Amino acid sequence: MTSSKQGPLLCVLLCVGSGCAGADGLEDVQEAPSEAGAPSEAGALGPLIPFHKDAVHAGFFWDPLGRPKILFWMRPSEYRGTDLADPTVEPIGELRESFRQIVYGGFRFSDTLERSVLSRIKDDIARENTLVFDLTHPDAFANRGKYDVRELDDADFAMNADAFYDRGSSAGLGYNLFCAGNTTLTDGRWLVVGGHDKSGNQGTRKLNIFDPLTETWVHRTAAPVKAAYDVDPSFRFPELHPNALDERNTDPPAPSDMRYQRWYPTAVTLPDGKVLLLSGSDQDSSVGPDEAPATKVRQVVPEIYDPATDRTVALENARKLLPMYPRSFVVQTGRHKDDWKVAVVAEVQPPLPTDLRPYDPFQYNGNTYLLDVRAALADRRRGEPGERHWRLVDRADFAHESGASAAMFELDDDGQPLSQRIALFGGDAGDGDDVAAVEMIDFSERRPRWRRQGELVRPATQNNAVVLPNGRVLIVGGRGGPPGGERVSTLEYQLFDPDSGHIETVAKTTVPRHDHSTLQLAPDGSVYSMGGNRVDLAPEDDTLGVPVLQVYKPAYMFMGSRPVIERAPEEISYRRSFEVKLDAPCRSAGSVAILRTDPVTHNWSWGNRYVKLSFDRTSRCNLKVHAPASGATAPGGNYLLFVLDDRGVPSEAKRVRVGE
């Protein structure tokens, strides 16, 4: 069935993942081409796939058998839904006041976040709030071809329920990872930085690690409040439960902790395998719900995490007052291995506010800096407060706060960068005004400068972007409008061409995606749109909203045969060429690209980057591909390797590990 909201165009019969036949034996589901044109011109947006929790944070990992899966979580990630909600109350359950008083210390439930735990799909409330989605499960993408979340029911959610399983508290998670920073380490493990202590702007010092090989969380000191809840979840013995307003009971000291508590921090995997930790906010929750907002601080001290020692070092000498989740990118600044810096976009605009109570009281400008991390670490005055080792590069017209971004690199035969382009899409101008502006800078230029590109269809913050294998950027979702006025959701899927700066609409959805939505490039070249607060998915009646996945297949998936990678290495070493063999018959190879696969959240693509590699064709079906020269352009870790033919049609990806 195709929703009438998809327009009058004919549908194309295609399977979505492995869900061509559902539990009740349905035939192939239909996908609707966009209103922009036929699938071979604009791609096609598939029907809604039931998702069993909100994917606020989400990313790919591979288990020991090489099977791709998605780990995702929502708030509160260390509990299951029934811990804070009574599912028996109709129609969507009811939040438990006892949980709020004892576990949250009286801090209020959020009208969108905890309420998103509630659902008319009652079986889903009982799940943990951290789940894994197994893409290889035979029912993973089963659906009935619906395009309206209001039409989904229990039978729809039962079709693929077995493809999702718990990986929160039962797998060792003891902390709330909501609004944490995320990145992957060079060995493929996930590093989750800081997080959420009861309420907005209240951070934690914890560094949590997920190990894909065991699908468990590395042990951290148990928080007394969570430990007491596990013993007495019914609160029958109040004397067992410690005071949740004492932060030693929610964020107990541990050797692996950061020095500073952080909520909305950024984590950047560096070329040497360490991780740069930036910004984040915190409040003193011990003073209680009414007074905590007045104690708000924005952390100005970067830290460096070393996975080899599981410890951090604070860079007191490199202080900088930045936005929450500052957009930050490793860039190469010379031809040698150690010639790299971290580009950071936007900083707090003076004068500083006197009232800290608003959610985000700061204003921002588009100042763009290079942080010399290696020099800051080597500085003998590293422990002295200062604002050293930052160099101003240029100033963007707008701060693009809470807007999407994309990193696109192209390398030569020696693995050196020909271009290092960063694009920013919409967001907040820095003063509360939403913008449609797109700006791009190339850090390979002698004097990098921000340049305006085409504009989005409307102003929008909280949008998401992914770079496709062909180097174009898909932008999805967002919401914008005048300060104090009605904010409009962007339902269009937009495609940005970094070579021309042109933006075109390629599809339109019925599902608003903005706050807490996520977007991921899949190994087959399609794009998964997930997340968004459940209460926003059917705004006229939030009891009807349910989490859903929607798969967009770009036009290149409708252009006939695709290249097939018959053989490629599992590991790629810097400065060395590697062989890729294609299946016959082989069209002329047009390009080769690797794309890093980091988890995403809050409209921020983290370490994800597109790296176009140089290659030579050694025979009809064999390519000699030139690897990056160093981690400055391709930080170590997991990447998707794509080969594209001369039409720009990509193969399905092979997962490769890039490193020394």
Burial-class residue 24 by CB neighbours within 10 Å (0-12, 13-18, 19+): exposed
Q: Where are the alpha helices (DSSP H) in 85-137?
A: 97-102, 122-125
3-state secondary structure of 122: helix
Could you give the CA distance from residue 3 to residue 10 in angstroms, rounded to a whole number?
12
The sheet carrying 622-626 orders its strands as: 565-567, 577-582, 622-626, 615-619
Phi, psi of 626 (to 5 degrees): -95, 120
CA nearest to 77, candidates 199, 177, 186: 177
CA nearest to 423, candidates 488, 349, 333, 499: 499
CA nearest to 428, candidates 527, 504, 349, 538: 349
Could you give the CA distance from residue 223 to residue 548 in angstroms, rounded to a whole number?
32
Distances (CA, A) of 363 to 323, 343, 425, 629: 9, 20, 18, 39
Are residues 338 and 378 in contact, defined by beta-carbon separation less than 8 angstroms? no
pLDDT number for residue 2: 32
To which H or E segment does residue 229 belong?
Answer: helix 224-231
pLDDT number for residue 127: 98
Could you give the CA distance from residue 450 to residue 448 in angstroms, rounded to a whole number?
7
Could you give the CA distance from residue 181 to residue 326 in angstroms, rounded to a whole number?
11
The amino acid sitting at 157 is: F
Longest CA–CA span in the chain (Å) reads: 75
CA nearest to 50, candidates 621, 563, 547, 595: 547
pLDDT number for residue 441: 98
The pair of three-digit structure tokens given for residue 176, joined into one six-digit string: 């709330």
Global model pTM greater than 0.85 = yes
Could you give the CA distance from residue 635 to residue 329 in angstroms, rounded to a whole number?
10
Could you give the CA distance from residue 168 to residue 129 in angstroms, rounded to a whole number?
7
pLDDT in tens, 396-416: 999 999 999 999 999 999 999
Are residues 368 and 394 in contact, defined by beta-carbon separation less than 8 angstroms? yes
Task: Say which residue the tokens 């989904």 belong to.
Answer: 152
DSSP string, 33-71: EPTTS-HHHH-EEEEEEE-SS--SEEEEEE-TT--EEEE
Could you give the CA distance from residue 395 to residue 393 in angstroms, rounded to a whole number?
7
Helix H, strand E, coil C: the string for 139-185 is CCCCCCCCCCHHHCCHHHHHHCHHHEEECCHHHCCCCCCCCCEEEEC
pLDDT number for residue 34: 52
pLDDT number for residue 120: 97
Where on the phi/psi map is residue 602: left (φ > 0), alpha (ψ -120 to 50), or beta?
A: left
Distances (CA, A) of 335 to 412, 446, 576, 632: 12, 13, 16, 10
To which H or E segment does residue 567 belong?
Answer: strand 565-567
pLDDT number for residue 36: 57
pLDDT number for residue 609: 95
DSSP string, 70-95: EEEE-SSTTSBHHHHEETTSTTT-EE
CA nearest to 492, candidates 515, 467, 510, 471: 510
pLDDT number for residue 19: 38
3-state secondary structure of 473: strand
* CATH tag for 565-659 (out of 3.40.50.2000, 3.90.79.10, 3.40.50.300, 2.60.40.10): 2.60.40.10
The full set of domain ranges for the chain reads 565-659
The pair of three-digit structure tokens given for residue 392, joined into one six-digit string: 């101003």
Where on the phi/psi map is residue 457: left (φ > 0), alpha (ψ -120 to 50), or beta?
A: alpha
The pair of three-digit structure tokens given for residue 571, joined into one six-digit string: 């590991």
pLDDT in tens, 518-569: 999 999 999 999 999 999 999 889 999 999 999 999 999 999 999 999 999 9
| Parts of the chain with a pLDDT under 50 | 1-30, 33
